Amino acid sequence: MTDHINGLPVIGQPGGSIGFQAQTYIVPEQQLGVIVFANVLDAIDAAWPNKTHLITTTHIASGIINILDEQPIGGSGLSISQKYWVVNGLLFILSVWLLYTTFRTAKRCLGPWSPDNSNHTKISIKVMSRIILNFAGLFLVLMLSMTQVVPVWHIATIYQPDLILWLKIMTVLMALKGSVEMTRLVRTIGIDTNYK
């Protein structure tokens, strides 16, 4: 692959395997070669959001070339620890939100019932679509885990097992929320039938 680092033409190739990554650059004009190896590789280890295909060793290798060419290193963007803080913060917020909505739904659906609270509602498309949506994630995760339809899922399972585990837990929680909403629907239908 050919590229330019601060206007300097380079030839290079990134690479990686499970838990490892590397970047090689050759600078023909200066008869210079840089190879960087690292013992980490995961989905967060990229120059996102702009260039998700770049990895940390690419930034290190280009920084070394800039130093040897007496050029400014340039902005490094977020560090890997900052990226983890951002991702973990988002996952925490999503987890808390899903736990809160599940608890609120369970409290509303499994609490005491009275004819005044039921409103004798019919099965609406909105209620059914919400229940289906809560189960969709679980079925999707099961399908992806048991088949090779989307090979990226299995690659992500190798490279980001913690993220995949979190996703599986959240889909089970959503399915639990869907079960609670189905219970509410069944109880509502039962109340409606009793009052007709």
* Residue range of the domain that includes 16: 2-68
- % of the chain with per-residue pLDDT over 90: 14
Residue 19's pLDDT band (cuts 50, 70, 90): confident
- What distances in angstroms separate CA 27 from CA 16, 54, 188, one per listed residue? 21, 19, 72
pLDDT band at 25 (very low <50, low <70, confident <90, very high): very high
Q: Which residues contact 180 (CB under 8 A, 6 or more apart)?
A: 102, 105, 106, 109, 110
Query: Does a structural domain hold residue 16?
Result: yes
Count of structural domains, the chain: 2
Per-residue pLDDT of 48-62, as tens digits, reads 455 544 567 887 888
Same domain, yes or no: 84 and 176: yes
Compute the distance between CA of residue 166 and CA of residue 127 in angstroms, rounded to an integer. 26
Residues 23 and 94 in one domain: no
13-22, 70-79, 157-166: range with lowest mean pLDDT = 70-79
**Does 128 fall in a domain?**
yes
Residue 17 pLDDT grade (very low, low, confident, very high; cuts 50, 70, 90): confident
Give the predicted TM-score (pTM) of the model: 0.60
Same domain, yes or no: 29 and 51: yes
Q: Which two tokens stand for residue 187?
A: 């109880």
